[in-house]
Amino acid sequence: MRREIFALGVVVLSFVVFPASLFAYQAWRTNALDARVIELTANVPANGGWQPDTIRVHLGERVRLRISSTDVVHGFAVPALGIQVDEILPGHVEEVEFVASRAGRFPFACTRWCSVDHWRMRGVIEVIDPQNPNPASPTFAPPLYQQLNVNIDAAHPARNVPSEHPSAVRGAVLAEQITVDADTRTQSPSDVFAKLRADAALKSYGDLQLWDAIAFEWKRAAGDDAIARGRQLYARDCAACHGESGKGDGPAGRNLPGRTVIDASARRGPADFTNAAQMLGASDVLLQGKILRGGMGTGMPEWRSLYTDQDMWDVISFIRGFVFEYGMSDKK
């Protein structure tokens, strides 16, 4: 009988005490960490995307995210909280810690081209203030394109197209001679050209010279740092569909319908940023509207939840460089 009791005791240890001790150890360990540990798993969107895709934490809480991938290499970013993990390798666990210092909803996303549906791989961190668990929805000013009543779905062909790509480098030489007094956010380059061309004082200058001056003005207004930052964002978030050279030939964009969902005669696939006839007819505001709202079925994702206004202006400044030759090195 004693033998049976001993054997039974060992089995009870296996079934009850052993599992209980595992969870007790984890509970003790988590308490000792002084941070709430949250496991976050990355899967390609076809297999579920982020799990969980909504993370709720309390204001002031210290949070440790343990991020792992079950399939391919992913990245992780919460732009509004300044969190960025460049690489989450399958089978590895990346840890990132932050303090939820302000209440609100902070979208996060994968930052590596993990699959065709990569852009769907998004989630949100909700920081809840226990004192005010149901805050009134924050009010945002409508985006600029709505304030200015710009129809971002309408075709926007340029009224004038230069014979070759305008050069900001040549334009710099003309900067003291040609004053481009334009709002580069709200006016399209084509409109600015029309205004300059109509100026009798600039009659002696050729069309291409005016275009060069416009290219320089766009570059000057943006600033080199913004263009360089836009290049990084473009490489990370846009190039897979729009292509490294901006021609709309990226591998992830091959099967996207593009503007054909609006206009059946339009070209399939992502926008071609080297197409001067289209790009010069679009104002920065119009381009920003397309970026922040997304393409409504065209395949273009929305970026409002992830990008700040400055992010979008920086990307647009860089994109302009596919038509305006900025003369900047790639490394800049």
Partner 1 sequence: MTMSRFELTRIPIIKKILASRWLQWSLIAITLPVFLLSILAGLFGTPAGSRNFGIVFVWIVWWALLILLMLPFAGRLWCAMCPIPAPGEWLQRRALVQPRERGRLDTLGLKWPRRLNNIWLQNATFLAVALFSVVILTTPMVSALVLALFAIIALSISLLFERRTFCRYLCPVGGFIGLYSQLAPIEVRVKNHAVCVTHKEKTCYVGSDAGYGCPWLVFPAALDKNTYCGLCTECLKTCPLDNVALFARPFGADLLANKGRRLDEAYKAFIMLTCALAYSIVLIGPWSILREMAYAVGSMGWWLYAAGFLAVNLAVVPGIFLACVLVGKKMGRVIASTRKLFVDYAYALVPLGLAAWAAFSFSFVLTNLSYAWQALSDPFGWGWNLFGTANWSWTPYLAGWQGMLQVPMLLVGLVGAIAVAFRTAREQRASPRVALPIVAFCIAFTLALVGLYL
What tokens appear for 235 in the block? 């490489």
**Cα 195 from Cα 218, distance rounded (Å):** 15
Residues 280/157, Cβ–Cβ less than 8 Å: no
Burial of 25: CB neighbours in 10 Å, binned 0-12, 13-18, 19+ = exposed
Q: Which residues bind partner 1 (CB under 8 A)?
A: 3-4, 7-8, 10-11, 14-15, 18-19, 22, 25-26, 29, 37, 39, 41, 51, 66, 68-70, 90-91, 93, 95
Q: Could you identify the residue written with the tokens 């971002």?
A: 152
Nearer to partner 1, 46 or 235 (CB): 46
Write down the least CB distance from residue 256 to partner 1, Å: 21
Write down the least CB distance from residue 14 to partner 1, Å: 5
Nearer to partner 1, 90 or 133 (CB): 90
Q: How many CB atoms lie within 10 A of CB 191?
A: 17
Nearer to partner 1, 68 or 260 (CB): 68
Element (H, E) at 228: helix 224-233
Write down the least CB distance from residue 121 to partner 1, Å: 15
What DSSP line would sit under 177-224, residue for residue?
T------TTTS-HHHHHHHHHH-GGGTTS-HHHHHHHHHHHHHHHH-H
Nearer to partner 1, 50 or 326 (CB): 50
What tokens appear for 118 in the block? 């990569």
Write down the least CB distance from residue 228 to partner 1, Å: 35
Q: How many CB atoms lie within 10 A of CB 296?
A: 13
- The dihedral region occupied by 283, where left means phi > 0, alpha psi between -120 and 50, and beta the remainder, is beta
Nearer to partner 1, 73 or 194 (CB): 73
Write down the least CB distance from residue 123 to partner 1, Å: 15
Write down the least CB distance from residue 40 to partner 1, Å: 10
Across the beta sheet with 62-69, the strand order is 50-51, 36-42, 62-69, 93-99
Write down the least CB distance from residue 9 to partner 1, Å: 10
Write down the least CB distance from residue 36 to partner 1, Å: 13
Q: If we measure between CA atoms, which residue out of 34, 329, 12, 327 comes closest to residue 170?
A: 327
Nearer to partner 1, 22 or 155 (CB): 22
Nearer to partner 1, 8 or 296 (CB): 8
**Cα 189 from Cα 209, distance rounded (Å):** 14
**Cα 96 from Cα 85, distance rounded (Å):** 8
Nearer to partner 1, 10 or 235 (CB): 10
